Amino acid sequence: MPAIEAPKTAGSLPSPSKPTPTFSPDKVTVVFVLGGPGAGKGTQCANLVRDYGFTHLSAGDLLRAEQDRPGSQFGSLIKDCIRNGDIVPMEVTVQLLENAMTEVVDGRKKSSGDNGKPAKFLIDGFPRKMDQALKFEETVCPAKFVLFYDCPEEEMQRRLLERGKTSGRADDNSESIKKRFRTFVETSMPVVDYYEKQGRVVKIDATPKPEAVYQETRKRLGERLGDGL
Ligand code: C5P
Ligand code: MG
């Protein structure tokens, strides 16, 4: 089965102007995790998976996997975007996320592993652009809120260059990092601002050591999700 399938159509009926999202927010909890490159999103998500049973979906990881999938029609497009720190066209990323979520939700149903509780997703590195945000919430699932890791550029650059020694990532070099920072400021921060205006951002200072950032994360998520954590 291809990782990306043709869009769903409503047969001969005209498609509604506002499609119903695939997942209801009553059944599926979605938390977006944002922050500049190197802010520590992936590290914190791994902690939350370990302690609270979230499923972690990193948009960047899904794109890298699709890039490497033999036969993918998007491989070279994704490769160019990632190296240049550009945002991949949102249709690709939104579909990859929806496919991954469907797999998890269906798997839980089959194994009756859901106990009637919502599946909880951390969607990491997404939405990085306004069109992704709108498309995802309209067609896949409305998000509960955004967990935003705030970190100064100098610190993020230091972390990325350190990671670049071993990550093997094509974009952990100073040239790509510069472009990624620019994209973050120009394209992704407006997304954070959009959610902030709606009171839907939990902002956490990501400058301290990972363990301290995690303690703060637990506290703030507990306040926000209560029993849902
Ligand atoms: O989050 P991460 O740093 O792994 O993302 C790597 C790259 O993947 C980004 O710089 C961008 O090119 C692409 N990406 C994207 N849209 C997203 C997340 C990542 O285009 N929502
Ligand atoms: Mg990451």
Q: Is 126 annotated as a binding residue?
A: yes
Q: How many other CB atoms are there within 10 angstroms of residue 71's CB atom?
A: 7
Mean pLDDT to the nearest integer, 146-168: 96
- Give the ligand at the shortest distance from the Cα of 61: 1
Is 164 a pocket residue for ligand 1 (Cβ < 6 Å)?
A: no
83 has pLDDT over 60? yes
CA neighbor of 32 nearest in space, from 203, 186, 205: 203
Check if the beta carbon of residue 150 is closer than 8 Å to that of residue 35: yes
pTM score of the predicted model? 0.92
* AA letter at 28: V
What pLDDT sits at residue 111? 81
Listed residue (97, 157, 99, 152) closest to 127, CA to CA: 97
Does residue 150 have its Cβ closer than 6 Å to ligand 1? no
The sign of the CA dihedral 148, 187, 140, 105 is negative
Q: CA–CA separation, 99 vs 65, rounded Å?
A: 13
Tokens describing residue 163? 């990671």
Cα–Cα distance for residue pair 109/119, rounded to 1 Å: 10
**What pLDDT was estimated at residue 151?**
98
E strand or H helix at 65: helix 59-68
Res 18: pLDDT: 72
Of the options 3.40.50.300, 3.60.20.10, 2.60.40.180, 3.30.1300.10, the CATH number for the domain spanning 28-225: 3.40.50.300
Is the beta carbon of 30 within 6 A of some atom in ligand 1?
Answer: no
pLDDT band, very low/low/confident/very high, at 7 (cuts 50, 70, 90): low
- To the nearest 10°, report the CA torsion of 75, 76, 79, 82: -100
Contacts of 117 (CB under 8 A, 6+ apart): none
Chain segment 219-229, per-residue pLDDT in tens? 999 999 887 78
Rounded to 10 degrees, the C-alpha dihedral 107/41/210/199 comes to -100
Indicate if the pLDDT at residue 99 is higher than 80.
yes
